[in-house]
Structure 1
Amino acid sequence: MVEWKLSGFGDEIDDDPVVQCAVLQALGANHLELRSAWGVNVVDFSAKQLEQLAELLKSRGMAVSAIASPIGKVSVELPVQHELDRLERAIAAAQAFDARYIRIFSFYYQGEAELVRDAVMERMAALADRAAQAGVVLLHENEKDIFGDIPARVLDIVQTVNSPALRLAWDAANFVQVGVRPFSEGYALLRPYLEYLQVKDALLSDASVVPAGQGDGEVQRTIEALRDDGYTGFASLEPHLAEAFALGGFSGPAAFGVAARAFAKVLDHAGVVTK
């Protein structure tokens, strides 16, 4: 039996972490991917908020799969130190919740990608160096409008930085939204570095987000390949079914449940169970 760990973006359910936990546990998840709570992004939490949320999660038997930071969702023209400062706050959150992973991105830019490549690599290497010192692992998420949007540039980042503290989160929907067929065009290239799975799907025709297995993200093929490759990590629900915006998305409890049940069908067909 192949068993993965189910997680989800709690703030796609509700701002209230009590509701986040209740819905996730009702869907069979004992982990939460922490992006925000009480309407506050995780890198902006006060020490009191970190402590309060840690106590809440512990009381409900929940753990944090990853700190879903917004690091790297800024212009590459900002100084290196800008995101290093935010990384310090993300590291503090990871330590407060005993989380191994921090999600990051690879910077917005204007013009040709090759013109900003060196600046991107400088920033990604600096972030990875600090993460290695802190004993955490950064997960680069492919995302439209950033340098690492297509498989070739994602591979360039992870191979150029060449750090065990930088690995990849796979988001099929985000690949579809930049015209990529994820499994066919990216899986073989990126699998050696893939360490985390974001769960959503999208349509090539209009880039709209749909539940897993209902779009062009080749989710079923990807899940079966990961199963066969021995993947045993997290699968984190990020449905974006109600709205999406620069730093995240929202679904609400009902739509989040729709997304979870769709993904459960994909897993069931692949013979993968979650805990």
Structure 2
Amino acid sequence: MFKKGIISDEISQDLRKAAELAYRYKLDGVEIRSVWEKGPHELTDKDIKEIKTILSDYNLDVCGISAPFFKCDIDDQRQIDDHIDILKRCIDLSYKLDVKFIRGFTFWSKGDFNSYFDRIVSKFETPIELLSNNGKILVLEFDPSVFATNAQKLVQVIKSIDSPFVKGLWDPGNDIYDPDGERPFPDGYNIIKDHMVHMHLKDAKKLPDGKVVATPIGLGEVEYEEHFSKLIEDRYEGYVVLETHYRPKHDLSESLLALPKGSAFSYLGYEASEDSLKRWQKIMDKIKRRKLG
């Protein structure tokens, strides 16, 4: 059975508040993104000590470091060097928080995926060396703002990199935003399932005018009841981590969706996350009843 978690700043910049909610809904872990207005690569030793104390108080593990690694311009070497430094700091953080997975991307989209493909893959040579020397795994996520916008493109990158230290992060909700129109389940899942070691959870729907809006879990276009049933059938034992991106009174801006961080991102996240946690549990209860009946 898979484990359950939530990304810290989807609830609050106050980690204790996030941990309390995670504990109340019997989650197993928290993924660290922005905490106290700082990204994971910006945390001080004092911050890290406080994170460990808080999560220990609520018996929660750190299930991942949600870094913004390689959300940068592929043609700007200074930005790339800065992001290599971000990866180094996140590797150091991963030791202190006893976690293996660090999240990464495939550079800001600025042209045709196929035209940039070889260049994208070549940029992972230094990260792979860092990861292999430290026994850490980079989990790559597809996203509408980067070159790999769906599972099919992401798997092409992962296969070409061909390293045990680079795996897939599956987020079916991101497929609703995919300009190519990849269907998240079963299509996207079947493409990525042999490469995925971590999963994010969000939902969304496309409006008649083509705009995509985030929704609470179960109210969008991702077929989560069937999907969770398949995860159980396939004996997926990694984490499924809530990253709702839904807010009850406003839509998050494109800039915050692209680079989530800080209080502006977390505003009303507690209410939105609790709503989705309740809906997620109802879906799991329905699956359980169906299996028993």
Using the size of structure 1 for normalisation, the TM-score is 0.92
Tell me if structure 2 keeps the 8 A contact 1:72–1:107. Answer: yes
Structure 1 position 115, deviation (Å): 2.3
Q: Percent identity?
A: 23
**Which residue of the other structure, out of 180, 183, 186, is the alignment partner of 1:184?**
186
Which residue in the other structure is 2:279 paired with? Answer: 262
TM-score, structure 2 length as denominator?
Answer: 0.86
Number of the residue aligned with 2:212? 207
Q: 1:139 to 1:271 in 2, by over 3 A?
A: farther
> Which position in structure 2 is the counterpart of 1:94?
94
The answer to which structure has the higher strand fraction is 1
**One-letter amino acid matched to 1:71:** F
What's the secondary structure of 2:12's corresponding residue? coil
- Other-structure match for 2:198: 196
Could you list the per-position Cα deviations for residues 100-125 of structure 1 after superposition, in whole angstroms to 9, with x for gaps in the alignment? 11111111031222222122111234
CA distance, structure 2, for counterparts of residue 166 and residue 220 of structure 1: 29
User: How many corresponding residue pairs?
Assistant: 270
Q: Distance in 2 between matches of 1:270 and 1:194?
A: 23
Instruction: Compute the displacement of 1:10 (Å).
Output: 1.5
CA distance in 2, matches of 1:30, 1:232: 12
Of the structure 1 ranges 210-219 and 86-95, higher mean CA displacement relative to structure 2 is found in 210-219
How many angstroms apart in 2 are the aligned matches of 1:35 and 1:78?
A: 24
**Unmatched tracts of structure 2, length 5 or more:** none
2:142 and 2:125 mapped to 1: Cα distance? 17
Q: Does 1:158 align with 2:158?
A: yes
Partner of 2:238: 233
More off after superposition, 72-81 vs 104-113: 72-81
Matched, 1:110 2:127: no
Map of 1:14 onto structure 2: 12
Q: Secondary structure at the match of 1:50?
A: helix
- Cα distance in 2 for partners of 1:127, 1:266 equals 38
Match of 2:40 in 1: 42
Shift of 1:160: 0.4
Contact 1:7 1:30 in 2 (8 A): yes
Tell me the secondary structure at the aligned position of residue 206 of structure 2: coil
Q: Is the 8 A contact 1:212 1:266 kept in 2?
A: no
Give the match for residue 4 of structure 1.
2
After the TM superposition, which segments of 4 or more aligned residues of structure 1 sit over 6 Å from their partners? Answer: none
CA shift, 1:230, in A, is 0.9
Q: Counterparts of 1:50 and 1:5 in 2: how far apart (Å)?
A: 23
Give, in whole Å, the separation in 2 of the partners of 1:28 and 1:125. Answer: 39
Identify unmatched segments of 5+ residues in structure 1.
none
